[in-house]
Amino acid sequence: MIGILTGGGDVPGLNPAIRAVTIRALREGCQVIGIRRGWAGLVDMVREKDYDNSENFQLLSEDLVNRTGRTGGTFLHTSRTNPSKVKKSGLPAHLQAAYDAETNDLTTEVLKNLDWLGIDYLIPIGGDDTLSYGVRLYQEGVKVVAIPKTMDNDVPGTDYCIGFSTCG
């Protein structure tokens, strides 16, 4: 199972990137889950079989990504959530009793949620903040393939980022 998410600011090219990854993965025999609202979808998820997590993730199909692939932005939506720096006031209701610091590291919850979803590979699409957290997950043992996206074109290790051509 492959998980894909978009984080940070919205730029053109996100939906085509989601489409390309999804179609290739499906043709290789993999299922793809779209994580909604970037890292927030993995923070807010409730690990209960009958809970409605439709605001947090959705199974992606070729039909769905073909419909959205020619539109700007990201149909998965995005956020600037960093799971390693969640303010007490930003904790989801189901986690408020477990975390009481002013700033909380919810990486343990994210790892449990990735496992609960059965995600073998995670593809974050984003800029420095989004991809820095992807590095953190990689250091925790998650298989991560990052796609750089920023109008600033300043992601180390890459020559060109999705969204740079629209900056101006």
Question: Which positions are annotated as active-site residues?
Answer: 152
DSSP annotation string for 5-22:
EE-SS--TTHHHHHHHHH
In sequence order, the β-bridge partners of residue 35 are 57
In sequence order, the β-bridge partners of residue 60 are 32
Question: What CA–CA distance (Å, rounded) separates 1 from 118?
Answer: 6
Instruction: Render the burial of 37-55: b for 16+ CB within 10 Å, e for the rest.
Output: bbbbbbbbbeeeeeeebee
Report the 10 Å Cβ neighbour count for 34: 24
